[in-house]
Amino acid sequence: MELNNADLGEPTDLELVSRAQAGEARAFDFLVLRYQKRLYSVIYQITRHHQDTEDVLYETLIKAHGNLKGFKGNSGFHTWLYRIAVNRSLNFIRLRKTNREISIHSGDEEGEGFDIPDEGIVNEVEQQENRSELQKKLNESLARLSEDHRTVVNLFDIQGLSHSEISKILGCSEGTVRSRLHYAHKLLQSYLKDAKKGDR
Amino acid sequence: MNMENWDSIQKALAERRHDVPSDQYFSGILSEFHSRQRNVAFVQKSLVDRLIESIKDLWFFQPARLIQGAAFSLIVLFFTLNGLHESWSEGSETLTNWYKGDASSENQSSVQEQFMISSAMDQLGAASLNRPAELASISTVAAGVDRTQYVMNSTPATYDAVVAF
């Protein structure tokens, strides 16, 4: 079933949410179409793996649809949706990391197939020969950031969200977001400097 | 390229927003989402719910077939009850007549015929076993005994008991 904007007359997020809450399945489908790319991007920047991103994306959409009745409109719908996506992505990579550690401790050779997020990012860098030099260095530098710092960089610098929106998504104060962001930027610059020195 | 230039770094970061598959990939998102949604809903259902649903899916649980089945059952039940009622009425009437002694000549002749046949069978059996007709219907085989004694009208009667019937 193909949906287009004219079909629903470009309604706002809140209108679509109200209609979806009232049981109109097409309204939620329209929201999916509206946010699918942005959600994919947010999730991919955390998992750095397309198949994992796909799984988390569907999990996010199913979770959002299931909890739609609980959405009160206190924040924007996209903020609410991003929050679900970020939480699920972070849970996913934590679980992936735990599985990896368990595999290593138990001597399970098959476990070597798991991707540790940081290592995954480094491997990704190695695979992307056609990327610009700066992007490669950026990948390496982002991989060295902590989970919290990488998340704020993802939401602010990559996705272009405001401090206020990020604070709602992460459930922390705007001050904390600013602080994390400032520190993350400093670290990034420092890591990129190191990378430049290493090239010489 | 000056890596220390923060503007270029920010620009490079912003470019990463477009690290997404082609539009063709996203054209299948909705159908896949619906499919996964159904799977999740199915898994989340309790075992009892699934059992009830399985039973409902059986061929005879469809309304049309249920009505057909019920109609057929009623027809079978009607004929069965009707048959039982008729045989019961006939049986009780015969019995009543028998006790009253005014059985119809047809019934009387039928009973007499049965007695005659039974008697003839006894005679035949006795002749083949070489023993009195009155004993023909008695089983006389005993382990380790080659000769069996009968008493008939206070007179001992014997016959070779090697034949069992």
pLDDT tens-digit readout, B57-70? 776 667 777 788 88
Per-residue pLDDT at B144 exceeds 70 = no
Nearest beta carbon to residue A36 from set B8, B17, B26: B26
The label of the residue with tokens 């039940």 reads: B77
Q: Which stretches in chain A have pLDDT values below 50?
A: 1-2, 6, 8, 108-118, 121-122, 125-127, 129-130
- The residue assigned the tokens 């539009």 is B23
Contact B4 A189 (CB under 8 A): yes
Count of C-beta atoms within a 10 Å radius of residue A52: 20
Is the per-residue pLDDT at B137 higher than 80? no
What is the secondary structure of A6-62 as a DSSP string? HHHTS--HHHHHHHHHTT-HHHHHHHHHHHHHHHHHHHHHHH--HHHHHHHHHHHHH
Quick one: pLDDT at residue B164?
A: 44
Q: Is B72 on the interface with A (CB under 8 A)?
A: no
C-alpha distances (whole Å) from A18 to each of A35, A68, B1, B61, B122 are 17, 9, 50, 38, 97
Tokens standing for residue B75: 């027809």
B6 has pLDDT over 50: yes
- Report pLDDT for B105: 55
Tell which residue, A129, A159, A158, A123, has the closest CA to residue A143.
Answer: A123
Round to whole Å and give the CA distance between B8 and B17: 15
Please name the residue of chain B whose CA is at the shortest distance from the CA of residue A58.
B33
Helix and strand counts by DSSP (H, E) for chain B: 6, 2
**Looking at chain B from residue 34 to 63, which residues have their Cβ under 8 Å from any Cβ of chain A?**
36-37, 40
Q: Could you tell me the pTM of the whole model?
A: 0.59
With b for 16 or more beta-carbon neighbours within 10 A and e for fewer, the A24-40 pattern comes to: eeebbbbbbbbbbbbbb
Residues 6+ apart with CB under 8 A from A137: A192, A195, A196, B3
Interface pTM (ipTM) of the complex?
Answer: 0.75
Q: How far is B65 from chain A (nearest CA, A)?
A: 33
Helices A163-170, A174-199: axis angle to 10 degrees equals: 100
Q: Answer yes or no: do B32 and A58 touch at CB < 8 A.
A: yes
pLDDT of residue A104: 64
Tokens of B161: 């008991």
**Is residue B7 less than 8 Å (CB to CB) from chain A?**
no
In single-letter form, the type of residue at position A124 comes to: E
Of the partner residues A33, A133, A159, the one whose CB lies closest to the CB of residue B17? A159
B8 close to A (CB below 8 A): yes
Site from A192, A194, A197, A200 to mutate, B interface, most B CB atoms within 10 angstroms: A192
CA–CA dist A188, A145 (Å, integer) = 8
* Interatomic CA distance for residues A58 and A60, integer angstroms: 5
- Return the closest-CA partner of residue A149 out of A46, A52, A10: A46
Question: What does the pLDDT read at residue A85?
Answer: 96
Residue-wise pLDDT for B11-55, tens only, equals 889 988 888 898 888 988 889 999 998 888 877 776 677 778 777
Please state, as a whole number, how many other Cβ atoms lie within 10 Å of the Cβ of residue B74.
10
